[in-house]
Structure 1
C-alpha cells in the first residue's frame, strides 16, 4: 500500500499480514516543543537539496517522542507541493520487541508489495530483494514519482542497511534508540521536552478531551512538577494526561502525589499497553549480560552523573571494559553523555527502572559489594586530592599520588563535586557514617575555598551528626570548626560563633589540644568580623600558644597572621608588620607558598596603613603573583583587591581600577557578594579621584546594597559615607546630608565611635553649605 498515488497494480493481503505497516499513521494533534527539530528534518527532505545526504536518523531515549517527530516531519513534507509525488512508505521495524521484530527480508517483501511488485516477482534471497527494491525506487524517482520512506524503531544498522535506497532522490527518515553511527546519515538527537512545553502538552491533551478542562491553568505549579517527575518524556506525559482524562474530576495534585513516590512512579505511569516500563523493557531485553549487569548497578551511584572510573568500580572491572559497556548503553540511550568526555548520567525514570531491574534480578549482594568498592574509591581518591591540593607545605605532599599537580587534583574535585556531595549525604541517611565523615573531611576545604558554601554547610552538617553517632569527638571538633568558618563566609556570624563554641567545649571535654587550638583560631576570625577586636586577638594568641606547645609551626603561623590582621585593624601597624614577617618566615621555611602569599598580603596591609606605600604595593604584587601560580582564585581575588587599594594610595588610579575589576570578576564568578561589595566600594573611590561623580555614586550604591544584603553594617556605613561624598559635588546636598547621618548612626550602632563622629561632622558641613547656598551667601 502506498499513500498518495495510484500504483496501477493491485494485490490481496494475506490472511495474517506481517507487522510492518504501510502508509503513514496519523500524527498527534497535540504536538509541542519540537518546531525547530521539525524544521531541521524538513530542510533535508526538499528535492532541490544538493549534496545533502537523503537519509536522516532521529535518536533518543525510549519515550522521548522520536516516532511522533518523524511522523510530524513526514506529514509536513508530504504537504509540500511537488516534494513527494510518489507518496510515502512507513514501516515499524519493532527493533526493540523480540516478539514482533521485523527482519529486513520480511520488511522488503511488504515494501515491494506496496510498490506494486507481485509476490511471484519477489526474489527469495535478501540481497536480491534489496537490489530489486532499490531499482524500483530509483526508477520511480527518475520518472518524477519521488518517494519518502519512514523506518521506525530500528535497533541496529543491520535492521535498515538493506532497506536504504541507492538513488539520491528517495528520502528516508529513521528513528532509533541507537545512534546508528555506521550509516551514512544525518544525525538528529532528540532531547527531553523543556518544562514549559511539557506543561503545554498536558494542557492541550486535556483540552482536546474537554474544552472546559482548566486543571492545568488552575494548578500551574502541580503541572510543572508533573513535567519534572515525568523527566520531560512525552510518552510519560501522555500517560499522565490519559490518566487525568479518564477521571475528569481528579486534581493534578492527586497524580502528582502518586508520582512523588519514586518507588511506585513507574507503576503509576502505565495505562493499558502504553507504559514507560514496557518501553524500557524492550531496550533492556536487547542488552548483553555484561551490559545488563552494569546497567542495573548504575542506579546505585547517588550523584547526578558519574565517571567511567566510578562505573568501573561498580562493575568490578577495568576502565576499558566499563567504557566499552557504557558506549553500548549510550547507543541504546539507556545512559546519556555527561557534561564532559568520560562522564555519564541516567535520566530519573531510567534510574528508577534500573533499580527495579536490580531488585527483580536479586542482585542485592552484588549491589552491596559494588557500593563498597565505590565508597572506597571515592574516599581514597578524595583523600589523595585533598592532600595534593590543600597540604601545608612541600614536605607534606603525598609520596605517591595519581595527580601530577595541584591543578589536576582541583580539576578532579570540581568534576566529582556533585557525586562526592551525594555520597556524603546518602551515606549519612543510610547509616554508613564512616564514609560520610571521611568524605566531608576530604572535600570541605575545596568546597569552602571555591565558594560552594551552601554545599559545604549541607555536607558538614550531615557529617557532624554522623561523627556524633560514631562517638568520634576529634572528627566532630574539626567538622564543627570548619562549619563555623563556612557560616562566617556566609555572614551568618551568630551561627559561626555557636559552631566554634561547641567545638571548643568538645575539645576541652576530651582534652583535644590540637582541635581546641584550631577552634580558638577560627573563633577569632568571627570575632574580628563582629568588630570585637580585643577578644579576637586573645583567641588567636591562645591558639598560637597551644600550637607552639604542640610544636605545630604551621598552626602557629596561621594564628600569628590572624593576630597581625587584627592589630592592623586597630591601628597597631608596626606590631602587625613585625608579626606578619614572623609568620611569613615560618611559611617560607615549611614550603607553604599559599600561606606565605597570604602573610605577604597581611604585611602589605600593615605597611600601607603605616604609610609605607611603595613597600606595601611591592608586597601585594608578590602575593598576587604567587596566588596566580598556585591556582587559588578566592585568595587571589582578595589580594587583587588589596593591591588595588595600594595602587590607589600611590595615585595609580588606572592600575588600581584594573586590579579591582579583575578581583570583581573572580568574586562574581564565585558568588562572593561580600567580596563584590568591598571591590565595588573601592572602584567608587577610584571614580571619585577621577572626578567621575555619577559613576562613583553608582558604584557606592551597589556596594551599599551588597553590604546590606550580607549583613555587614560597618561596611554599609562606610559605603553610605562614601556615597554622600560622591553626591555632594553633584549639588545633591540633601541626599548627601541624609547619607552622612545614616552612616553616623550605623557607625554608632557597631561601636565605631571615631567613624561616627567623622560622619556626623561631614553631615554638619554639608548642612552649613546647603544653608549658605539657600540664603545666597555661598
Structure 2
C-alpha cells in the first residue's frame, strides 16, 4: 500500500469514528497534554495500572496489541466497572469537561440513570483534589531515605482500605535510631504526593503528625528538642483540630471535646501518626488509640510494643541497602571511605542508620576512620544511652528478664528459647521463660525469627550488654556455665574417660549438621572461651561431640584450630584422646587443605601420642591408613599398597576379636574406601566399585550416614561411562538430607550426568543449586562447579 493510500485510509478512519471512538481517544490526548508525554506511553502506563487494580488480567501486559488500542477502534469494554474507571481518568486526570463524561458513558451503553450520580461523585472528588490533602507533615529530604521496600509495602497494604487485615492501629517498633520515624514519614510522603492519582476511597483526606520525641542524637551528643512536643492527649486533640480546621474542638472541653474529636475523625478519613509513643506519660492516649473511629487509622512509632494486632518490627537495613546509605551519606557530607572501611562500617553498624550517620559525620569533621569508629567501643557513648539505656534500665538487675537478656548477649549469634532458658536458670519454668521473652521483644531489645523460633539482637545491643556483663563477673560466669551445660546436653556429650569417645559423635554427625549450622557461631565462641578459661574438662567433653559434625559442615579452618587447642589440652591432662585428635582431627583437615607436609608431621605427632598410652593400637592403624591415602594422591602406589595390606591385617584381626565393635566397623569402611581410591588411581574402576560396595555394607552395620559413599559410587560409575548407574547413586546420596555436603556434591554429580546426556536445562539447574550451597558451606569443590556452569552457559 502506498503512502498516499495509507494517508487516505487514516483520514477515512477519522471521519468514520463512532461516538465511543471519539470519546475514548480524547482520554489519551488529554492525558498526553496534561503530562507532556507521548500517547503510547500514557496508554501503556494506564494499562499497567488497570492490571494492578484488577480490572484486566496480567497476561494483557504481554500482548503485542494493547487492549486500549482495541477500544480505540470502537470496541466497547464489556465491563461497566472499566467504563466507570475510564470516565474517572478522563474527568480527573485528562481534565475533560462534564459534557464529555455524559457522551462517553452514553456511547459505552452505560445505564443512563446512573450517569447523573457518577458525574456528581466525580465533581465532588474533583473538588476534593483541588482542595488537596490536609496535613502538618514536617519537612524532610526524601532522597535520603534508603531501602525498607518490604516494610514500606507492608505499611501501605495495612493502610489501604482494600486490605483484608482491617488494621486500624499499626505500630512500627525498634530500638532508638533504627529508622522508625523515617519509615512512617516516607509512607506519609508517598500518600501526599500520590494524592491526586489515588482512587477516592484510597485517599486519606488528612494526615496528622504528632511527636513525643524529647531528645535527638547528633555527633556532639544527646540534644534536647527545642520545638514544642506532644506530651498529652490534649496535645493530640489540638493537632487534629488544627489540621482539620475544626476550631470548635479547641473551644470545647471534657466529654464535649471527646465527642467532637470522635465526630471529626469519623467524618474525615484521617491518618494519625504518633511518633515516640513510649515518651508519652498520659495513659489516656492508649485508650484513645484503641477506640479511634473508622475510617481513621493510627500509626505509632515506639521502642516498646503495645498490645495491638499489627506490628512492624525494624532491625538494621539489608546489607546492600546499608551500603547504599553509607555511600550516599559519605557523598552528601564530603566524607571519604575506602572499600575496606565501608565494609568495616557495614559490619559494625549491622545496617542501623544512626550508627552509619554518626560515624560518617565524624569522618566529615576530619577524623581518621579508626578514631571515628572508636566511639562505638565505649559503652558510655551517648549512642547507647539514646538507643538502649531506657529500655534496659526498665529491667531489675535481679529479675529473670535481665538475666535472660544477658544470656543472649553472651551468644555470638542467635539462640533458641531452650538455650536461653537454661542459661538464665529457667530450665524448669517454660511459662516464665516464654513470658520473659515476649517482654524483652516488646522492649525492642531482642528480635524473634518466627519461622525458626530463634532470638537475636543487634550488635549495638550486644556490645552494650556485654559491658554490663563485664561489670558483674559472677553473673557472667553463671550464665556462661548454663550455656555450656545446655550445649553438652544438646549434643549428647560423652563425659567418660574412655579414649575411644572421640568416635562417638560420628554416629550422629550427619544428623547434627543442620543443628550445628544454626548454633556454630555461639558454640565456636564458647569453645574458645573454655580454652581461655582453662576449663579443660568441658572443652574436651563438648568439643569431642562436635568434631565430626564440623567436618560435615565445611569450616575446615575452624575444625583445625579447635582440634589443635583440644590436642594441647589432652596432652596437658594426659588424656589419650590426643592421639585421635592429631591423627584424624587435624591430620584429615590438613589432607583436605592440600597441606601434605603438615599432614605427615601431624600423623607422626599422633603416633608418638598413641605410643605414650596403652590400648591405642587402632590410633596407629588409622595413621597408617591416612598416610596410605596421601601416597595414592602423590602416585606412590607401592608404598600405598604396603600400608593398605598392613592395615588390612590389623583391621581383620581386630574385627575377628570384636566383630560388632563400632570402631572396627568404622575403620573397615575407611579401609574399603582407601582400597577403592587405590584401584581407581590404577584405572581399575570395577574393582574400585566393588570396594565401595563393601564400604556401604560396613556403614550399614555401624549405623553411619552413607551419603558420602553413595556419592563416591556415583563418581566411579560416571568414570566408567555408566550414566544410569551414576544417576542412581547420586540420587541415593540425596536421600540422606542431614549430610548437606554430599547432597551438594551429589547435585554436582547429577549436573555432570545431565551434561553428558546433553540435557542442558537439567545440567544448569542442578549445577546452580550445587554452586549456591557449596559457596554457602565454603566447600573447595565450589570452584569446579563454577567451571561447569561456565561451560554450560553456552547452552542457555
Specify the TM-score bucket, using the shorter chain as the normaliser: 0.5 to 0.7
Query: Following the alignment from structure 1 to structure 2, what is the Cα–Cα distance between the partners of residues 447 and 28?
Result: 49
Give the conservation status (yes or no) of the 8 Å contact 2:672–2:695.
yes
Q: Which residue of 1 aligns with 2:476?
A: 367
TM-score (norm 2): 0.63
Q: Which residue of 2 aligns with 1:137?
A: 261
Give the conservation status (yes or no) of the 8 Å contact 2:232–2:285.
no
Query: Following the alignment from structure 2 to structure 1, what is the Cα–Cα distance between the partners of residues 357 and 696?
Result: 66
Q: Which residue of 1 aligns with 2:299?
A: 173
SS at match of 2:301: strand
Query: Which of 371, 387, 390 does residue 279 from structure 1 map onto?
Result: 387
Q: Which residue of 2 aligns with 1:563?
A: 675
Give the conservation status (yes or no) of the 8 Å contact 2:408–2:414.
no
Query: Following the alignment from structure 1 to structure 2, what is the Cα–Cα distance between the partners of residues 224 and 501?
Result: 42
Q: Displacement, 1:93?
A: 7.5
Query: Which of 752, 761, 773 does residue 669 from structure 1 map onto?
Result: 773
CA distance 1:119–1:286, change in 2 (3 Å): farther
Give the conservation status (yes or no) of the 8 Å contact 1:604–1:620.
no
Q: How many residues align?
A: 617
Query: Following the alignment from structure 2 to structure 1, what is the Cα–Cα distance between the partners of residues 691 and 156?
Result: 73
Query: Which of 505, 523, 541 does residue 645 from structure 2 map onto?
Result: 541
Give the conservation status (yes or no) of the 8 Å contact 2:188–2:207.
no
Give the conservation status (yes or no) of the 8 Å contact 2:137–2:208.
yes
Query: Which of 223, 240, 253 does residue 122 from structure 1 map onto?
Result: 253
Query: Following the alignment from structure 1 to structure 2, what is the Cα–Cα distance between the partners of residues 431 and 258?
Result: 32
Q: Which residue of 2 aligns with 1:10?
A: none
Q: Displacement, 1:345?
A: 1.0
Give the conservation status (yes or no) of the 8 Å contact 2:606–2:623.
yes
Q: Displacement, 1:311?
A: 0.2
Give the conservation status (yes or no) of the 8 Å contact 1:299–1:354.
yes
CA distance 1:442–1:150, change in 2 (3 Å): same
Q: Deviations over 1:488-516 (max 9, x none)?
A: 33444444333333323432354632221
Query: Following the alignment from structure 2 to structure 1, what is the Cα–Cα distance between the partners of residues 482 and 387?
Result: 32
Query: Following the alignment from structure 2 to structure 1, what is the Cα–Cα distance between the partners of residues 331 and 552?
Result: 52
Q: Displacement, 1:314?
A: 0.8
Give the alignment of 1:257-268 within 5 angstroms. Answer: 257-259=374-376, 262=377, 264=378, 266-267=379-380
Query: Following the alignment from structure 1 to structure 2, what is the Cα–Cα distance between the partners of residues 69 and 145?
Result: 21
Q: Which residue of 1 aligns with 2:606?
A: 503
Q: Displacement, 1:90?
A: 0.9
Q: Which residue of 2 aligns with 1:256?
A: 373
Q: Which has the larger displacement, 310-319 or 292-301?
A: 292-301
Give the conservation status (yes or no) of the 8 Å contact 1:94–1:154.
no
Are 1:350 and 2:461 an aligned pair? yes
Give the conservation status (yes or no) of the 8 Å contact 1:312–1:322.
yes
Q: Which residue of 1 aligns with 2:621?
A: 517
Q: Which residue of 1 aligns with 2:414?
A: 305
CA distance 1:676–1:80, change in 2 (3 Å): closer
Query: Following the alignment from structure 1 to structure 2, what is the Cα–Cα distance between the partners of residues 242 and 456?
Result: 41
Q: Which residue of 2 aligns with 1:383?
A: 492
CA distance 1:474–1:26, change in 2 (3 Å): same
Q: Deviations over 1:7-58 (max 9, x none)?
A: xxxxxxxxxxxxxxx9666547883314735576467668999986454321
CA distance 1:54–1:385, change in 2 (3 Å): farther
Query: Following the alignment from structure 2 to structure 1, what is the Cα–Cα distance between the partners of residues 785 and 292?
Result: 66
Query: Following the alignment from structure 2 to structure 1, what is the Cα–Cα distance between the partners of residues 672 and 792?
Result: 34
RMSD: 5.3
Query: Following the alignment from structure 1 to structure 2, what is the Cα–Cα distance between the partners of residues 437 and 417?
Result: 16
In structure 2, runs of 5+ residues without a counterpart are 1-134, 197-202, 217-221, 242-246, 659-663
Give the conservation status (yes or no) of the 8 Å contact 2:268–2:295.
no
Q: Which residue of 2 aligns with 1:214?
A: 334
Query: Which of 410, 415, 419 does residue 518 from structure 2 map onto?
Result: 415
SS at match of 2:175: coil
Query: Following the alignment from structure 2 to structure 1, what is the Cα–Cα distance between the partners of residues 291 and 327?
Result: 41
Q: Deviations over 1:473-500 (max 9, x none)?
A: 5335424422222333344444433333
Q: Displacement, 1:309?
A: 1.1
CA distance 1:167–1:425, change in 2 (3 Å): same
In structure 1, runs of 5+ residues without a counterpart are 1-21, 684-694, 703-778
SS at match of 1:383: coil
Q: Which residue of 2 aligns with 1:237?
A: 356
CA distance 1:38–1:571, change in 2 (3 Å): closer
Q: Displacement, 1:546?
A: 3.6
Query: Following the alignment from structure 2 to structure 1, what is the Cα–Cα distance between the partners of residues 529 and 549?
Result: 20
Give the alignment of 1:693-708 within 5 angstroms. Answer: 698=791
Q: Displacement, 1:299?
A: 1.8
Q: Deviations over 1:724-750 (max 9, x none)?
A: xxxxxxxxxxxxxxxxxxxxxxxxxxx
Q: Displacement, 1:601?
A: 6.4
Give the conservation status (yes or no) of the 8 Å contact 1:154–1:174.
no
CA distance 1:431–1:111, change in 2 (3 Å): same
Are 1:336 and 2:447 an aligned pair? yes
Query: Following the alignment from structure 1 to structure 2, what is the Cα–Cα distance between the partners of residues 592 and 344?
Result: 34
Are 1:443 and 2:546 an aligned pair? yes
